[in-house]
Amino acid sequence: MNAAPAPLGVGVIGCGTIARYQHLPNLRRLRRARLAAVADPDGAAREWAGRRYGVPAFATAEELLAQPAVQAVVIATPTHLHAELAVRAAETGKPFFLEKPIAASGEEAARLLAAAGEAGVVAHVGYNLRFQPLYLRARELLRSGLLGEVLAVRALFAEPLADVVAASWRARRESGGGVFLDLAAHHFDLVRWLLADELVRVESAVTDVEGRSATARLSTAGGVEVHVVSLYGAGPIDRVELVGRRATLTLDRHVARLDAVGPRRRRYGARRLRVAPSPALVALRLRRLLQPSWEPSFARALGAFVDAALGRPSAAGAPLPATLGDGAASLAAVLAAELAARRGVPTPVEPILA
């Protein structure tokens, strides 16, 4: 009888909010992985993580990457450090899970793509919503032809964190912040993934001087019009609406609900279409009755990375994680939107190449 493979030793670089509430506890729950070490230049953050999880804690990424027990890494630092740290991980031959966005600039992203390609390491990007049961069900419905040809998408993402954001790297573009990079990037990736289409042009974009609100109107290669609004300091919302020739579909992540509407059969007007939720979506709704903030997509994205790093084949029909190429495509759309906002003219989405 073959023994079970040893769990993957994972190091976490960056012990801030996303690591504290998602990556560190999720790694502890994964049987096929074990937390091997943490690193953070902030003494209080790394000491808390090291003490809480009983692992070595280092001040620098170099120290963590040098540990033989660290076989793969999760990079959960502010954005302006993403590309540099991922390049270092690639150069040491360690698979890495990189929080989004993959870089703060096109030049950094191109360097990362080249380094990862040369090293040939497993690399996933933290677009966790690809593993969210709501969006997975929506993707199934789109593939079924329920909506017919998709003509337009509207997405709205708002977080009521204005004071927290203003005091952190998330508010400053030079450190990789601002709503385009922090919030809109999620919806840019979702649109590409849901539609299996590419964002090719930013028709118009507007952002405020403080980087707390942004609006972009884009078009895809297939001719779909996409409207994305992102806000800090507003009531929480994460909603996507898809308009097709046959029907429309509305997705609300916070209430884990999808609604499809089509025309009445014989008279003018609209009717709600009966769409069964997937078993995973039902389970999510039930879990949120006890734990309203429960979000399983982070753990599932991390689990997919661990399986890939261990060389385990994906199960049939399993969600596909975001690659560095996907991360580069989302970043390219962000950069085009920022440029369109500055210039006030339509701007093509220029692909980022290694």
Q: What is the Cα–Cα distance from 145 to 262, expressed in whole angstroms? A: 13
* CA distance readout (Å), 220 to 214, 258, 292, 326: 19, 23, 35, 15
Nearest to 229 by CA among 242, 244, 212: 212
Q: Provide the pLDDT for residue 160.
A: 87
Q: What is the Cα–Cα distance from 98 to 73, expressed in whole angstroms? A: 8
Nearest to 60 by CA among 103, 102, 13: 13
Q: Could you give the dihedral angle defined by the CA atoms of residues 70, 73, 77 and 82, in that order, rounded to the nearest 10 degrees?
A: 120
∠114-118-120 over CA atoms, to 5°? 115
Q: What is the Cα–Cα distance from 208 to 104, expressed in whole angstroms? A: 19
Cβ contact 177:335 at 8 Å: no
For the beta sheet containing 150-159, the strands, ordered from the edge strand earlier in sequence to the opposite edge, are 270-273, 257-263, 248-252, 237-244, 150-159, 225-232, 213-220, 199-207, 347-348
**Burial bucket for residue 257 (CB in 10 Å: 0-12, 13-18, 19+):** middle
Q: What is the Cα–Cα distance from 254 to 52, expressed in whole angstroms? A: 30
Q: What is the Cα–Cα distance from 112 to 117, expressed in whole angstroms? A: 8
Question: Which helix (H) or strand (E) element contains residue 217?
Answer: strand 213-220
Cβ contacts of residue 328 below 8 Å, gap of 6+? 102, 109, 113, 351, 352
CATH architecture of the domain with range 133-292+323-348: 2-Layer Sandwich (3.30)
Amino acid type, 145: G
* CA distance readout (Å), 114 to 54, 105, 132, 189: 36, 15, 30, 21
CATH 3.40.50.720 range(s) for the chain read: 8-128
Instruction: Looking at 31-182, list the stretches that DSSP marks H as alpha helix, in order from N- to C-terminal side.
Output: 43-53, 61-65, 82-91, 106-119, 133-144, 162-166, 179
Beta-strand pair 225-232/72-75: unpaired
pTM listed for this prediction: 0.94
Q: At what angle do helices 133-144 and 185-195 cross, to 10 degrees?
A: 40
Each of the 354 residues of the chain gets a pLDDT tens digit; together they read 456 678 999 999 999 999 999 999 999 999 999 999 999 999 999 999 999 999 999 999 999 999 999 999 999 999 999 999 999 999 999 999 999 999 999 999 999 999 999 999 999 999 999 999 999 999 999 999 999 999 999 999 998 877 666 667 777 777 677 889 989 999 999 999 999 999 999 999 998 866 789 999 999 999 999 999 999 888 999 999 999 999 999 999 999 999 999 999 888 889 999 999 999 999 999 999 999 989 999 999 999 999 999 999 887 778 889 999 999 999 999 999 999 999 999 999 999 998
Residue 113, classed as helix, strand or coil, is helix
Peptide bond into 101 cis (omega under 30): yes
pLDDT 10s digits, 211-241: 789 999 999 999 999 999 999 888 999 999 9
Token pair recorded at residue 21:
């509430």
Domain covering 8-128 in this structure, CATH number: 3.40.50.720
Q: Provide the pLDDT for residue 208.
A: 84
CATH 3.30.360.10 range(s) for the chain read: 133-292+323-348
Q: Provide the pLDDT for residue 265.
A: 85
Token pair recorded at residue 327:
């991360």
User: Rounded to 5 degrees, what are φ and ψ at 246?
Assistant: -100, -30
13-38 burial: b if 16+ Cβ within 10 Å, else e: bbbbebbbebbbebbeebeebbbbbb
Cβ contact 216:340 at 8 Å: yes
